Amino acid sequence: QVQLQQSGPGLVKPSQTLSLTCTVSGGSINSGDHYWSWIRQSPGKGLEWIGYIYYSGNTYYNPSLKSRVTISIDTSQNQFSLKLSSVTASDTALYYCARDDYGGNSVNWGQGTLVIVSS
Amino acid sequence: DIQLTQSPSFLSASVGDRVTVSCRASQAISTYVAWYQQKPGRAPKLLIYSASTLQTGVPSRFSGSGSETEFTLTISSLQPEDSASYYCQQLNRYPFTFGGGTKVEIQ
């Protein structure tokens, strides 16, 4: 059974960079059958798809965040990461990592990390 | 971006009732729709993909239908454990987008 475990700080100062990591167990991140994505959820915006990465390193980002987002993958550690730069209060949200099937359906999810942007 | 409008935003029903949740897309998206269930404090759970295919392990009382711009999630006989929020997602065009959600309460 594939499990995704998220890690990273829950408090980030405005203008700084949010960094989260998702460690995959019970399966290889090198699998060509899946995409690895990040999704966030906030009371104001609901669920928002941030982007995904493929094991090859190919990425696709939501254009609304593209200028500030980087998703990377470390196959040796079986993990992938999210960086969101220049954060503001509007980036306060519950952040999830997920394993998507080839159709983009998010089949497995991390536990979620509440990130608050505040000084 | 493709907009998804769910209705109703809230519904209250009794155990055993048949419940339907609607999702309308701002443009045609074939059957590239997924439905998720989310309980408080938990991550969303995939229920249905490709508009009507039940994810492994999901009870058969859940079903999905529709195509192009109109989609429906149906719970044939509502159970107490179905109290949750439900979201549709379109996967036809980037960026993938979600509906605003429907909260289902058990009376």
Query: pLDDT at position A113, please?
Result: 98
Task: Answer whether B50 touches A (CB < 8 Å).
Answer: yes
* B13–chain A nearest CA distance, Å: 24
Using a CB-CB cut-off of 8 Å, the residues of chain B touching A111 are 43
Name the percent of chain A lying above pLDDT 90: 92
Cα distances (angstroms) measured from residue B107 to each of B2, B17, B42, B59: 34, 10, 22, 21
B55 touches chain A (CB under 8 A): yes
Instruction: Inform me whether the pLDDT recorded for A68 exceeds 90.
Output: yes
pLDDT along chain B (107 residues), means of 10: 97 98 98 97 97 97 98 98 98 97 97
DSSP B14-48: -TT--EEEEEEESS--TT-EEEEEE-TTS--EEEE
DSSP structure class, residue A90:
G
Chain-centre distance of CA B38, in angstroms? 10
> Which residue, A99, A64, A65, is CA-closest to A80?
A99
In angstroms, the CA A7 to CA A97 distance is 10
Residue pair B89/B23 in contact (Cβ under 8 Å)? The answer is: no
Strands A79-84 vs A69-74: parallel, antiparallel or unpaired = antiparallel
Residues of chain A contacting B1 with CB distance shorter than 8 Å: 64
Cβ neighbours of A35 in B, within 8 Å:
none
